[in-house]
Chains A and B, each alone.
Chain A
Amino acid sequence: MELNKIIKPENLVYKRTPLMTDANLSYCPGCGHGTVHRLIMEVVEEMGIQEDTIAIAPVGCSVLAYDFMDVDCAQAAHGRAPAVATGIKRLWPDKFVFTYQGDGDLAAIGTAETIHACNRGENITIFFVNNGIYGMTGGQMAPTTLEGMKSSTSPYGRNNETMGPPYKITELIAQLQGTYYVTRQAVHKPGPVRKAKKAIRKALEVQRDKKGISFIEFVSNCNSGWKMTPNDSNIWMEENMFPFYPMGDIKVDGELVKSP
């Protein structure tokens, strides 16, 4: 069959959501941030809540999220996105408020805000992209950097004795009473991407039903920071990140489903 007979509007099965703006994504080639942005916007489009959605951009690679997502956005000081989201959500309880944060932002400088927003059970959604490194500033070690993993500030690999072990903030906050839905997903292959989209949908539905905080971690790659090609970094992530950060739901409907 000839291409011009296939490429017709009635045969369209997938196209970029119009909720992503025309701005070129500033991320490195192969970075999972772009996929996560698009999935969130696809769900917002499918739920028809664009007018009622407010995103909080963090500090880090995804600070420019407000340029890429065609929803209302605010930008918070480093790590303080859950606090800003709390304020906005309390003023407009019927709006959909989500934060979009990286691991340096959420798990390091914003630990207090993250834990306390989760503990209070604010009715917001937190999207957390974990690539085990501070990507924007040049690949420094983050709290989520794996043991033995090289970064620009741990050039011989992370030493747990002197630098402390990596920590799993997602399992940590799942222990808190305020959290309702906690899960860990990935976006490096078609199957995980489709599962991640379902999780995003569930998280925003939890918020719509006013049941409490939902928290999704996306284990992602940082091929520039890890000094690998995009595909090598995805393979490395499967072999090294997934055993420590296992995929799947941790807390569903307020009940722990997996013991950490």
Chain B
Amino acid sequence: MAKAKGAIVVDIERCKGCQVCMVNCPTDTIGMAEEVNGKGYHFAYMKNPESCTGCTNCAVVCPDGVITVYRVKQN
């Protein structure tokens, strides 16, 4: 069965750490970093990069549009 494998890239300086992407991630891929960005927000990052399927759910709910999604299909 083809399995999609994905990855996200977060624009760290634009992220406001609202965590909306985190709760809407179906595979528990996203976590909030312990360090902060230039504005003092804990930014989103891939906590479990292996589990990302590239479903784009995080990117479509992100109010600031900071997430870019990549996906490849694996056989």
Show the binding face of A for B, using Cβ within 8 Å: 1, 3, 5-8, 11-17, 20, 24-25, 27-35, 38, 187-190, 193-194, 229-231, 234
User: Is B33 interfacial (CB-CB < 8 Å)?
Assistant: no
- Contact of A30 with B18 in the complex, beta carbons under 8 Å: yes
Which residue, of B11, B14, B16, B17, has the highest number of chain A Cβ atoms within 10 A?
A: B16
User: Is B6 interfacial (CB-CB < 8 Å)?
Assistant: yes
- Contact of A3 with B49 in the complex, beta carbons under 8 Å: yes
Alpha-carbon distance A24/B14, docked complex (angstroms): 7
Nearest-neighbour CB distance to chain B for A41, whole angstroms, equals 9
- Contact of A30 with B20 in the complex, beta carbons under 8 Å: yes
3 closest A-B pairs by beta carbon, nearest first, are: A30-B18, A34-B63, A29-B16
CB-CB under 8 A for A231 and B70, given A7-B9, A29-B41: no
- Contact of A11 with B63 in the complex, beta carbons under 8 Å: no
- Name the B residues within 8 Å of A34 (CB-CB): 62-65
Of the residues A5, A193, A230, contact of B19 by C-beta under 8 Å = A230
16 contacts between A and B (CB under 8 A): A13-B56, A13-B70, A14-B68, A15-B59, A16-B65, A17-B65, A20-B65, A25-B64, A28-B16, A29-B17, A29-B63, A30-B20, A34-B62, A187-B61, A190-B56, A230-B20
Nearest-neighbour CB distance to chain A for B19, whole angstroms, equals 6
- Name the A residues within 8 Å of B6 (CB-CB): 6, 13
Q: Mark B4-29, 1 if CB is under 8 A from A, else 0.
A: 01110101001011111001100000
Alpha-carbon distance A20/B60, docked complex (angstroms): 14
User: Is B47 interfacial (CB-CB < 8 Å)?
Assistant: no
B residues contacting the other copy or chain, number (CB 8 A): 33
- Contact of B63 with A7 in the complex, beta carbons under 8 Å: no
Which residue, of B59, B65, B72, has the highest number of chain A Cβ atoms within 10 A?
A: B65
- Contact of A33 with B63 in the complex, beta carbons under 8 Å: yes
- Contact of B60 with A14 in the complex, beta carbons under 8 Å: yes
Nearest-neighbour CB distance to chain A for B3, whole angstroms, equals 10
- Contact of B69 with A13 in the complex, beta carbons under 8 Å: yes
Q: Mark B37-67, 1 if CB is under 8 A from A, else 0.
A: 0000100000001000010110111111111
- Name the A residues within 8 Å of B9 (CB-CB): 7
- Contact of A35 with B74 in the complex, beta carbons under 8 Å: no
Extra contacts besides A12-B69, A15-B69, A34-B65 (13): CB < 8 Å? A13-B69, A17-B65, A29-B18, A29-B63, A30-B18, A30-B20, A30-B63, A32-B63, A35-B61, A190-B24, A190-B56, A190-B57, A193-B60
